[in-house]
Structure 1
Amino acid sequence: MGFPPDKQALLNVLRARALKVTKGAGLQPAMDWLIAHPGELEDEPVGQTLGERPAGESIGSTSEDQDEQTAQSLQCNDCQKLLRDELTEAKNQMEEKEMQKLLMAKKKEKEDDKIAKAKIKAQIEADKKERAAKREAAKQAIQVQKQEEAAAEAAAALAASKKEYTETRLQVRLLYTY
């Protein structure tokens, strides 16, 4: 960043201390702490200002720095209330709108399914009535046919019965030769 090497080591120490003081809240709170506490350089022991670290600490970014680069929420210094940043708020609003769209789509799909089922049931009922009417018409046709056959049989039976003739007609033809 353009600092001399001895100052870079000191900045690394300050950055690590700022992250420790802010309990790993992220880059922005650590930078705010550094700006708010410029006199903390004098509190550091001489060995640590030269870049020496106690055992277990390394120079450079910690795993917390790599995992979380931006704060998800900010805490008010006066009331200790957690404040969300605008990006998180906008993201939550977009997610909520998307969920509402999905719910509306699901409701519409269910309604469409109900309408489709009602149409299918109505068609099934109409088909049942049509088949019943066809069966009834077929039964009536069979009954009419049986009645016609019975009437034809009765007529044939009357015709086949023996008739008594009381009169006769004779017709004679003569052949003339001239």
Structure 2
Amino acid sequence: MSDKETLLSMGFDAARVEWALRATKNAGLQPAMDHILAHNDESVPTAEELAEEHGEEANIPDVGEAKSIKCSECGKTFRSQATASFHAEKSGHTDFEESTEEIKPLTAEEKAAKLTHLKDLLAAKRAAQFKEDEKASRANEALRRKAGQDQGRIKEEMEAKELERDAARKRADKIADQKARAAVKAQIESDKRERAAKAAAEKAAREGRPPPGPTAADAPPKPSAMAAGKSSEAPQTRLQIRLHVGGAPLIKTFPSTSTLVDVAEFVSSENLAYSVDTVKFSMTFPRKVFGPNDMHKSLKDNGLTPSAVLMANV
């Protein structure tokens, strides 16, 4: 609703509304209302006076002796063409006629009551707008805080995941490096045995003796011994590890699929005197020393399941 329509809906005379709007140069509802209140007891200038005041040509409608305008459709009368046009816009009525009926001007009490009503409406409008602005401000602040919290949480989660990935990469690199070094050492030991066997065979050939057979250390384990070692298919293996350097034995339960390399890593993490690369394991019963090839076998394949006692040597 425009400022003019709002003032007309309050019952103010259209000429006084036009005067206020022209005098304030359509600066808004509040300046127009202030003008009406300030000049309430003054007579409204004529069209010629208004035009002369603003340097315009007068535009006076020729209404003859008519004192009002009447709507033929609903019978309402209006003081001016402006109020009749406002009624036409709101009601959709199009049939109007001039009337000699004179509309009595508002009394001082009626004007004061309408002015009070207008002030109340403006105050209520300002209060409603203030509440809407305050509500919107609170909603915007809540959205801003939530966005900041979400960004902080996402950043923390990303940092935590990156740390987890770094730790996993380091563990994988460490295990791969240990396995590679163990494989190289196993290959060196195998090459040593092959060279020793070749040298022994060449020496026997020079001396006219048959080549020596494989030693007990080189012979594969007997089926009966392996069968005795694999006395259980338990998914877990409990190990008691006695340290050669002294101290209380280490006790831990491993998955039966773990290797002696995993056990070596555990021992080195518990006692700094041991290194993953140099620690060696043995058993007293049955008597057995685990070689480099055994380090990559599972605990079950090494006959340690479901439980065993190991000696850890530096």
TM-score, normalisation: structure 1? 0.57
- Aligned-partner residue type, residue 174 of structure 2: K
Q: Could you tell me which residue of structure 2 aligns to residue 176 of structure 1? A: none
Report which of the two has the higher share of strand: 2
Question: Contact conserved, 2:20 with 2:35, CA < 8 A, in 1?
Answer: yes
Q: Could you tell me which residue of structure 2 aligns to residue 110 of structure 1? A: 155
Aligned length: 131
**How far has the Cα of 1:11 moved from its partner?**
1.8
Question: Contact conserved, 1:9 with 1:51, CA < 8 A, in 2?
Answer: no
Q: Could you tell me which residue of structure 1 aligns to residue 54 of structure 2? A: 54
Evaluate the alpha carbon distance shift between residue 54 and residue 96 of structure 1 in structure 2; reply closer, same or farther with a 3 A threshold: same
Q: Could you tell me which residue of structure 2 aligns to residue 135 of structure 1? A: 180
Evaluate the alpha carbon distance shift between residue 85 and residue 161 of structure 1 in structure 2; reply closer, same or farther with a 3 A threshold: same
In 1, the alpha carbon distance for the partners of 2:132 and 2:149 equals 26
In 1, the alpha carbon distance for the partners of 2:130 and 2:161 equals 47
Per-residue deviation, residues 101-137 of structure 1 (Å, max 9, x unmatched): 1101110111111011111101110121122012112
Percent of counterpart pairs with the same letter?
21
Per-residue deviation, residues 41-89 of structure 1 (Å, max 9, x unmatched): 42x4333677887248xxx9xxxxxxxxx9xxx7xxxxxxxxx812111
Which consecutive unaligned segments of at least 5 residues does structure 2 have? Answer: 57-81, 83-121, 210-314
**How far has the Cα of 1:160 moved from its partner?**
1.1
- Aligned-partner residue type, residue 139 of structure 1: V
> What pairs with 1:69-84 in structure 2 (closer than 5 Å)?
none
Which consecutive unaligned segments of at least 5 residues does structure 1 have? Answer: 61-69, 75-83, 165-178
RMSD: 3.6
In 2, the alpha carbon distance for the partners of 1:129 and 1:136 equals 11
- Aligned-partner residue type, residue 45 of structure 1: P
Picking from 101, 107, 119, the partner of 2:146 is: 101
TM-score, normalisation: structure 2? 0.35
Question: Contact conserved, 2:19 with 2:45, CA < 8 A, in 1?
Answer: no
Question: Contact conserved, 1:14 with 1:34, CA < 8 A, in 2?
Answer: yes
Evaluate the alpha carbon distance shift between residue 30 and residue 154 of structure 1 in structure 2; reply closer, same or farther with a 3 A threshold: same
Evaluate the alpha carbon distance shift between residue 55 and residue 35 of structure 1 in structure 2; reply closer, same or farther with a 3 A threshold: closer
